[in-house]
Amino acid sequence: MSINSSKHSLIFTLFLLFQLTSPITKALAGTPHLINFRSQNLYPESLAWDAKNQHFLTGSLNHRTISSISDAGIVETLISDTSLPENVTVLGITVDSLHNRVLAVIHAVHPLPPYNALAAYDLNTGNRLFLSLLPSDDQPALANDVAVDFKGNAYVTNSIGNFIWKINLQGEPSIFSKSARFTENPVDRDSPCNFCGLNGIAYVNNGYLLVAQSNTGKIFKVDAEDGTVRQILLNNVENLTCPDGVVLRSDGVVLVVSPEANKLWMLKSNNGWSEGVVYDKIDLGDEGYPTSVVARERDRMYVLYGYVKEGVLGSLGRESFRIEEVRSPKESEDENVWIYVMVGFGLAYFFYWRFQMGQLVKNMDKKIN
Ligand SMILES: *[C@@H]1O[C@H](CO)[C@@H](O)[C@H](O)[C@H]1NC(C)=O
Ligand SMILES: *[C@@H]1O[C@H](CO)[C@@H](O)[C@H](O)[C@H]1NC(C)=O
């Protein structure tokens, strides 16, 4: 092969590769996973991922149930606790895989009589392990979301009282963190979430909690030992609008979802959450009121569209809900870059090999002649 034709074939090959890899990278990623599921009047507010049994779990606006949702959208009622007061809501739920339990926040929406509790159920049998009434000194309270640490302590946010309860492994409740930090920011009275303070909560491995406050758009770092609170400085954003569900991905990225703004924010920190940056901001589907987000294997992100607002406003009758996988365009770009880099290395290696073979053939020719 002459030098000229080899150069042409190189350019041609590169051209072909760039033409080919774009659809290939798209095909490798596939389309995001969409799970439609049907359950009359379920209106689930929160989502959890049960890694052991490989299905999602959701609560319900007033069925007093926890349901499992398979990847194929098969719904099964895992727990039905009719000993709870009629029509109460199963709000935040979380899987405590170390203790094989699911923890569920139970709240009675106005005008039902006040009721705030945390229930724990065995994941295998569905048996209730405890039902712990949450004390609020007769003040109005809204038990909302729950996170669990490695010892099995649960942390529940109070959206009206703006404090955090702690419930230990045995189910004994206490008021854990009632910091002035939680009430020092002005509340936007015109905001659709103005009634709702502390909301989504996530436990971070190094012994602290991250908590979102809906009506100020703030995120707090709470020490899981002593309950001391710091507001996290978010460097590059306007305030988050009505943040709701919060979850930690295994790579340390924190996901925050807002049903009012229809957004998923991806937050990162390189100093243990003294400060953070919004690293990506993703627009979600504008129908379905996405209140909850989870991360499952290989950091895949799934959002629940449970139409809770519709249910709370009283237009019951809905049967179909959905869970949707969400992809970060930024992270897909990064993946594409890596694929190009790998293809580049492959090509370089191939041409080097061809060059050596050429030399070898030449040397052999020399020897033979
Ligand atoms: C629960 O909801 C049903 C249906 O809306 C209603 O008929 C019933 O009276 C409610 N029960 C309570 C205790 O509010
Ligand atoms: C963000 O929140 C702070 C305090 O809560 C407020 O003073 C400020 O005006 C808000 N900024 C925007 C852009 O909304």
DSSP letter for each residue of 40-73: TT-----EEEETTTTEEEE--SSS-EEEEE-TT-
Q: What angle do CA 335, 201, 245 make, to 5 degrees?
A: 60
pLDDT of residue 337: 75
| CA contacts within 13 A on the Cβ side of 51 | 13
Tell me: pLDDT of 138 over 80. yes
Beta partners for 231? 220
Place of tokens 């490989």: 54
CA distances 135 to 20, 119, 196, 227, Å, are 62, 14, 18, 17
What's the pTM value of the predicted model, to 2 decimals? 0.85
Q: Are 131 and 117 in contact (CB under 8 A)?
A: yes
Write out pLDDT tens, residues 86-129. Answer: 999 999 999 999 999 999 999 999 899 999 999 999 999 999 99
* CB 40 less than 6 A from any atom of ligand 1: no
Q: Between 239 and 328, whose confidence is greater? A: 328
Q: Give one DSSP letter per residue of 176-197, joined into a string.
A: EE--GGGG-SPP-TTSTTTT--
For residue 137 and ligand 1, the question of a CB distance below 6 A is answered with no
> What ligand is nearest to the CA atom of residue 314?
1
Averaged over 277-287, what is the pLDDT? 92
Summarize pLDDT for 166-210 with one digit per residue, the tens.
999 999 999 999 999 999 999 989 899 999 999 999 999 989 999
If one compares 213 and 354, the residue with the highest pLDDT of the two is 213
Scanning the structure block, which residue is given the tokens 């935040």? 92
Tell which wins on pLDDT, 306 or 368. 306
**If DSSP codes are grouped into helix, strand and coil, which group holds residue 208?**
strand
Q: Report which ligand 2 atom has the smallest distance to the Cα of 218.
A: 5
pLDDT at 13: 62
Q: Tell me the CA–centroid distance for residue 119 and ligand 1, in Å.
A: 22
pLDDT at 4: 54
* Separation of alpha carbons 84 and 71, rounded Å: 29
Distance 242 CA to ligand 2 centre (A): 13
41 lines ligand 1 (CB under 6 A): no
Taking the centre of ligand 1 as the mean of its atom positions, its distance from the CA of residue 287, in whole angstroms, is 27
- In the predicted model, is pLDDT for residue 3 greater than 90? no
pLDDT above 80: residue 249: yes
Please tell me the residue having the least CA distance from ligand 2 atom 6: 186
Distance CA 267, CA 183 (A): 23
CB neighbour class for 31 (10 Å; exposed up to 12, middle 13-18, buried from 19): exposed
Residue 23 confidence class, pLDDT cut points 50, 70, 90:
low
Given a cut of 90, whether residue 250 has pLDDT beyond it is yes
Min mean pLDDT across 103-112, 221-230, 235-244, 285-294 is at: 235-244
pLDDT(27) > 60: no
Q: For ligand 2, what atom is nearest to the CA of residue 216?
A: 5
Please report the pLDDT score of residue 119 as a whole number: 98
- What ligand has the least distance to the C-alpha of 88? 1
242: confidence class by pLDDT, cuts 50, 70, 90: very high
Which atom of ligand 2 has the smallest separation from the CA of 188? Answer: 5
Rounded mean pLDDT, 152-168: 98
Which ligand has the minimum distance to the alpha carbon of residue 191? 2
Query: What dihedral angle (degrees, nearest 10) is formed by the CA atoms of 364, 366, 367, 369?
Result: 120
Using one digit for the tens of pLDDT, what is the confidence trace for 301-360? 999 999 999 999 988 899 999 999 999 988 877 777 777 778 888 888 888 888 888 887
Q: How far is the CA of 257 from the centre of ligand 2 (A)?
A: 19
User: Distance, CA 92 to ligand 2 centroid (Å)?
Assistant: 27
In short, whether 86's Cβ falls inside 6 Å of ligand 1 is yes
**How far from the centroid of its chain's Cα atoms is residue 108's Cα?**
25
Among 38-47, 245-254, 327-336, name the one with the lowest average pLDDT.
327-336
Tell me the best of 40, 60, 82, 86 to mutate to test the pocket of ligand 1, counting ligand atoms within 8 Å of each CB and taking the most: 86
Q: What is the mean pLDDT of residues 253-261?
A: 97
Question: pLDDT tens across 51-78, in order?
Answer: 999 999 999 999 999 999 999 999 999 9
Q: Do the beta carbons of residue 213 and residue 205 sit within 8 Å? A: no
Tokens read off for 207 = 């012994």
User: In whole numbers, what is the pLDDT of the chain averaged over residues?
Assistant: 91
Answer whether 190 contacts ligand 2 (Cβ < 6 A). no
Instruction: Confirm if 45 and 306 have CB atoms less than 8 A apart.
Output: yes
Farthest-apart Cα atoms in the chain, separation: 102
- Whether the pLDDT of residue 274 is over 90: the answer is yes
The torsion of the CA quartet 240, 193, 139, 202, rounded to 10 degrees, works out to -40
Instruction: Give the number of the ligand closest to the Cα of residue 61.
Output: 1
Ligand 2 center from residue 180 Cα (angstroms): 18
